[in-house]
Chains A and B, each alone.
Chain A
Amino acid sequence: MSSWLDYTINGLILGNVYALVAVGLALIFGVSRLINFAQGSIYLVGAYIGWVAVVGLRTPLFVTIVLVAAISALVGLIIERFGLRPLQNSVRIAPLLATIGISFVLDQIVMLTFSPNPRALPSQLPDIRFQIGTGTIGPLDILIACIGITSALLLFVFLRYSKLGWAVRATAQDRDAAMQMGVDVNRVNQAVFGIAAALGGLSGLLVGMYYNQIDTAMSLHATLKGVVAEVVGGAGNVPGAVVGSLLLGLVESYGVAVFGTSYRNLFAFLLLIVVLVFRPNGLFASAKQAPPEPLTGTFIAPSRPVHIPRWALLIAFAAFALLPLLPVSSYVLQTLINAWLFAMLALSLTLVAGTIGQVSLGHAALLAIGAYTSALLSLDFSVPVSISIICGGLMSAALGTLLISPSFRLRGHYVSIATLAIGEIISLVILNWETVTRGPIGVSGIPPLSLFGYEFISAASIYWFSFAVMVLLALLQVRLLGSHIGRSFRAIRDDDVAARAYGLSLNRYKALAFIFGGFAAGVSGGIAAHLYSYINHETFNTQQSILALTIVILGGLGNAAGAIVGSVALVGLPEVFRIAAEYRILIYGIVLLLLVRFRPQGLLGTI
């Protein structure tokens, strides 16, 4: 059994590693008010470059470190130049979506190149431990501490004594004033992305060596941990990010000591939510700061929705309703069933992300709540499936809204990071709450879909059922959009300050959006559970959240018809062209990036 000193050392070492990620995030946030969701992907890239160097090229440790830092920095420069610089003058949602897209593209490229299987990353250091008091410390711990301290010193010298460092600090303080004084903001961005990427890549290498294992799933958690540390320290505050990281490392290390490893990530995410809600400016911000300048300029791209004539909608409805009567293969039907399930999720997301402007990245968690509720009610309490699905929808609406409510007081990027964390918390609770959810084993033997005792077994009947539910939800949503509530949602999205000045309560309408959207997502999850007959905590994951987001952007934010068209296109077309499953997420990421760059209003336009 390790001693408390061991846990402290372990926490500080972890904190050091998080600091390398968090400092980069803080630098980027400082100069461009952007949470870089791709930071974790660079960390992943760093880890795999390290693996190639160590295992493939057998480079000495020093060369490995230089190589990882240099190539990661190059990746950062490429992201800045081609991913973000073209979006400098676009709406605020664009860079947020772009970094999400870049992160998925990078993760998938790494995964396709190296396969998702974990690999060992030996540290090349002698395996000895030095005794210190009651604890021990190894050469790798010392190396990590040295790299952390050296990086901090180099960064300090750069920011304090170099001309470019001054420019970075000036831009962080007041971008417009810096530009007026002749600071080349593009160069500043380049420098910051380069440094952030070098540090992020190093962090990936060190973590890989520390656990002697790397895999492609490490990216998302790295981003989240880095953001947690950065937000705890105060967004954009570089020394704060270091302190926040050490604090996070200690909290995790002690938490694991007391509660066990399966709760490790829970502490980080809970810490994030608590800080965001109670100290949104971080632990070290003075209580009374000058309020930020009123945000002007819209969050989403202004556009007029494409008008679809009623007859065209009726023809499309009739064509899809009659499809199973034609001699089509059950493969086609199954693909479209999948599309209808995603359409329900996309309707839900287009309402919360598009209509009221809360870009949720944890939306798959609403599917999970609906799926688990419906599956467990029908299995453990013999509730008829049709009723249990509705209960799943209601549970998702109620519980989902309650869990997401801490994010209501946040804006823009913070909503995305908070919903991502809340989604992870829900998935961790499902994993750990074994008495109810059956934990990692999952729920099997879920009864098939049925209505009034009639079981839907054939592909055609399942098709009609899911299609009918989806159309019903879409019609309800269109009706909602046409009411004063739809108008209020859109007003809050366009300008929440002006909306409040005219009596709109943000909490009330955000809650209503999540209640309505949560119901649709919960129903979709419920149907999916009975369709799959087996679900576990990984059935509904971040990939589905990202796919739903891509569908929503493709269709047009807030556009219900767009959500359905987007689902058929993104779920259906890859099947038609028989694109191998492992390339799909890559394609979704690229589609997202291209849309943000060239058609931010989507196919059918923002409503």
Chain B
Amino acid sequence: MAEEIGRSPNAPIASPASLLSLRGLTRRFGGLTAVDGIDLDLAKGDLVSIIGPNGAGKTTLFNLVTGLDRPDGGEVRLDGQVITGFSPERLAGNGIARTFQLGRVFGNLSVMENVLIGAHTRLRAVKPATPLIGPLLELGLALLRPAAVKAEEEQLRDEVRGILGRFGERLLPRIDQPAYSLSYANRRRLEIARALALRPRLLLLDEPTAGMNPTETTEMQALVAELKAEGLTILLIEHKLDMVMRLSDRVIVMDEGKKIAEGTGEDVRNDARVIEAYLGHGLSQPAADARETAA
């Protein structure tokens, strides 16, 4: 098959059931190979976690999958279709949603508006797919607002209230406040709410509990477990190993751009290469745990 040219010869063939499959994905920055020939399969409904020391290439891998960065080699498939090098806006349209490690909410938009942006790819009535004059029609419809456009907007707003309701009393009371006024933890929650509004087929979470205290972390863990139970396919980057062990179907360990281990939490925990990777970075496994949990 034409698509298979350029694939490393001994890479496993993508299993038909996998929603996301990466083959030999590589990204170099100058002399540094940030992501080095990563293979990964994610079946529908699975939750796979990626762990590894800082600088292992986890976020770069996310950027490659979501189109914010282009790979130097390898292939990304979503549901069997090659999506390597697609623009982020096109990938969002294909149902990939992500959160950002540093929390990138739209500061001057209200909580409601932030989540509505998440539903942008689902706008139909106000965004006709007509080629060429589509943008002008969109401008006209936004100004005139016929009944169908109003109904669509109302329905999305209702849905946003529903999504925000999943976070208990954290976000709903602040629905009209600008996002810059939210606490750090609430911004992380808002990012997830925005991602859910896209109704993703694949959700990538980049350290959703960073900077959260133990109570907040437990809450977040319960929410991610809930999403998994609903059948959402999730790729998770997380440093809190306790949460990783509880939630993941499989764990992938990265170090210096390479996948050094893959398996269940238990397998990975006892893998000699994993322990060495952490020790090699000057930290024993328990010490690393303690540090990440304290962070």
A476 contacts B by Cβ under 8 Å:
yes
A485 to B142, CA, bound (A): 7
Which residue on chain A has the smallest CB distance to residue B34? Answer: A290
| Binary contact track A374-403/B, C-beta < 8 Å → 1, others 0 | 000000000000000000000000000000
Smallest CB separation, A477 vs chain B (Å): 10
Query: Which of B11-19, B37-45, B116-124, B258-266 lies at the interface?
Result: B116-124
- Residues from chain B with a CB closer than 8 A to the CB of A288 are 28, 30
Q: A296-B104, A302-B180 are in contact. Are A484 and B116 (CB under 8 A)?
A: yes
- Residues from chain B with a CB closer than 8 A to the CB of A484 are 116, 120, 123, 126, 142, 153
A274 to B117, CA, bound (A): 33
Smallest CB separation, B208 vs chain A (Å): 15
- Residues from chain B with a CB closer than 8 A to the CB of A294 are 100, 102, 104
A303 to B104, CA, bound (A): 18
B146 contacts A by Cβ under 8 Å:
no
Which residue on chain B has the smallest CB distance to residue A494? Answer: B106
- Residues from chain A with a CB closer than 8 A to the CB of B93 are 503
- Residues from chain A with a CB closer than 8 A to the CB of B66 are 501
Contact of B109 with A494 in the complex, beta carbons under 8 Å: yes
A288 to B29, CA, bound (A): 8
Which residue on chain B has the smallest CB distance to residue A301? Answer: B108
Smallest CB separation, A124 vs chain B (Å): 51
A300 contacts B by Cβ under 8 Å:
yes
Contact of A505 with B89 in the complex, beta carbons under 8 Å: yes
Those of B85-111 within 8 Å (CB) of chain A: 87-89, 92-93, 97-98, 100, 102, 104-109
Contact of B89 with A504 in the complex, beta carbons under 8 Å: yes
Kindly count the residue-residue contacts between A and B in the assembled complex, taking CB atoms under 8 Å apart. Answer: 114
| Other-chain residue from B67, B104, B143 in contact with A498 (beta carbon distance below 8 A) | B104
B198 contacts A by Cβ under 8 Å:
yes
| Binary contact track A555-574/B, C-beta < 8 Å → 1, others 0 | 00000000000000000000
A501 to B204, CA, bound (A): 12
Contact of A485 with B138 in the complex, beta carbons under 8 Å: yes
- Residues from chain B with a CB closer than 8 A to the CB of A302 are 107-108, 178, 180
| Other-chain residue from B98, B116, B117, B145 in contact with A499 (beta carbon distance below 8 A) | B117
Contact of B194 with A502 in the complex, beta carbons under 8 Å: yes
A331 to B104, CA, bound (A): 51
- Residues from chain A with a CB closer than 8 A to the CB of B100 are 294, 498, 501
Which residue on chain A has the smallest CB distance to residue B72? Answer: A288
Contact of A494 with B107 in the complex, beta carbons under 8 Å: yes
B36 contacts A by Cβ under 8 Å:
no
Contact of B121 with A502 in the complex, beta carbons under 8 Å: yes
A163 contacts B by Cβ under 8 Å:
no
Contact of A296 with B102 in the complex, beta carbons under 8 Å: yes
A18 contacts B by Cβ under 8 Å:
no
Contact of A497 with B139 in the complex, beta carbons under 8 Å: no
A347 to B131, CA, bound (A): 29
Those of A293-320 within 8 Å (CB) of chain B: 294, 296, 298, 300, 302-304
A291 contacts B by Cβ under 8 Å:
yes
A516 to B138, CA, bound (A): 12
A85 contacts B by Cβ under 8 Å:
no
| Other-chain residue from B92, B107, B145 in contact with A501 (beta carbon distance below 8 A) | B92
Contact of A490 with B106 in the complex, beta carbons under 8 Å: yes
| Other-chain residue from B102, B109, B120, B143 in contact with A483 (beta carbon distance below 8 A) | B143
Contact of B180 with A298 in the complex, beta carbons under 8 Å: yes
A166 to B109, CA, bound (A): 42
Which residue on chain A has the smallest CB distance to residue B122? Answer: A503
A432 to B163, CA, bound (A): 59
A491 to B116, CA, bound (A): 11
A133 to B35, CA, bound (A): 59
- Residues from chain B with a CB closer than 8 A to the CB of A231 are none
Query: Which of A171-179, A418-426, A507-515, A579-587 lies at the interface?
Result: A507-515
Smallest CB separation, B57 vs chain A (Å): 13
A302 to B177, CA, bound (A): 12
A511 to B98, CA, bound (A): 26
B113 contacts A by Cβ under 8 Å:
yes
Q: A494-B106, A501-B92 are in contact. Are A512 and B180 (CB under 8 A)?
A: no
- Residues from chain B with a CB closer than 8 A to the CB of A303 are 108
| Other-chain residue from B28, B108, B120, B153 in contact with A502 (beta carbon distance below 8 A) | B120
Those of B134-190 within 8 Å (CB) of chain A: 135-136, 138-139, 142-143, 145, 153, 178, 180
- Residues from chain A with a CB closer than 8 A to the CB of B79 are none
Contact of B117 with A304 in the complex, beta carbons under 8 Å: no
B68 contacts A by Cβ under 8 Å:
yes
A480 contacts B by Cβ under 8 Å:
yes
Which residue on chain B has the smallest CB distance to residue A511? Answer: B135
A499 to B106, CA, bound (A): 9
A348 contacts B by Cβ under 8 Å:
no
- Residues from chain B with a CB closer than 8 A to the CB of A141 are none
Range of interface residues on B (Cβ < 8 Å): 35 or more
A479 contacts B by Cβ under 8 Å:
yes
A288 to B69, CA, bound (A): 12
Which residue on chain B has the smallest CB distance to residue A483? Answer: B142
- Residues from chain B with a CB closer than 8 A to the CB of A485 are 138-139, 142
Smallest CB separation, A321 vs chain B (Å): 24
A524 contacts B by Cβ under 8 Å:
no
Smallest CB separation, B194 vs chain A (Å): 7
Question: By CB atoms of chain B within 10 A, which of A288, A490, A501, A515 has the most?
Answer: A501
Contact of A515 with B142 in the complex, beta carbons under 8 Å: no
- Residues from chain B with a CB closer than 8 A to the CB of A494 are 106-109
Q: A290-B30, A498-B104, A498-B106 are in contact. Are A508 and B121 (CB under 8 A)?
A: no
Smallest CB separation, B189 vs chain A (Å): 15
A536 contacts B by Cβ under 8 Å:
no
Smallest CB separation, A308 vs chain B (Å): 17
A303 to B109, CA, bound (A): 10
A32 contacts B by Cβ under 8 Å:
no
Q: A291-B69, A483-B145, A485-B139 are in contact. Are A503 and B89 (CB under 8 A)?
A: yes
- Residues from chain A with a CB closer than 8 A to the CB of B138 are 485, 512
A6 contacts B by Cβ under 8 Å:
no
Which residue on chain B has the smallest CB distance to residue A298? Answer: B107
A381 to B88, CA, bound (A): 48
A488 contacts B by Cβ under 8 Å:
yes
A211 to B38, CA, bound (A): 63
A480 to B117, CA, bound (A): 16
Smallest CB separation, B280 vs chain A (Å): 24
- Residues from chain B with a CB closer than 8 A to the CB of A504 are 89, 117, 120
- Residues from chain A with a CB closer than 8 A to the CB of B87 are 500
Contact of A304 with B104 in the complex, beta carbons under 8 Å: no
| Other-chain residue from A480, A491, A500 in contact with B109 (beta carbon distance below 8 A) | A491
- Residues from chain B with a CB closer than 8 A to the CB of A512 are 135, 138-139
Contact of B198 with A502 in the complex, beta carbons under 8 Å: yes
- Residues from chain B with a CB closer than 8 A to the CB of A72 are none
Ordered by A's residue number, 5 sampled pairs between the chains whose C-beta atoms are within 8 Å are A304-B178, A476-B143, A502-B117, A508-B135, A606-B108
Q: Which of B's residues lie within 8 Å of A, judged by CB?
A: 28-30, 66-69, 87-89, 92-93, 97-98, 100, 102, 104-109, 113-114, 116-118, 120-121, 123, 126, 135-136, 138-139, 142-143, 145, 153, 178, 180, 194, 198
For the complex of A and B, the 7 pairs showing the least CB-CB separation, nearest first, are A503-B92, A503-B121, A483-B142, A494-B106, A498-B104, A302-B180, A290-B29
Q: Which of A's residues lie within 8 Å of B, judged by CB?
A: 288-291, 294, 296, 298, 300, 302-304, 476, 479-480, 483-485, 487-488, 490-491, 493-495, 497-505, 508, 511-512, 515-516, 606-607
Starting from the known contacts A302-B180, A495-B104, A512-B138, 10 additional A-B residue pairs (CB-CB under 8 Å) come to: A298-B107, A302-B107, A483-B145, A485-B142, A491-B109, A498-B106, A500-B92, A502-B118, A502-B194, A606-B108
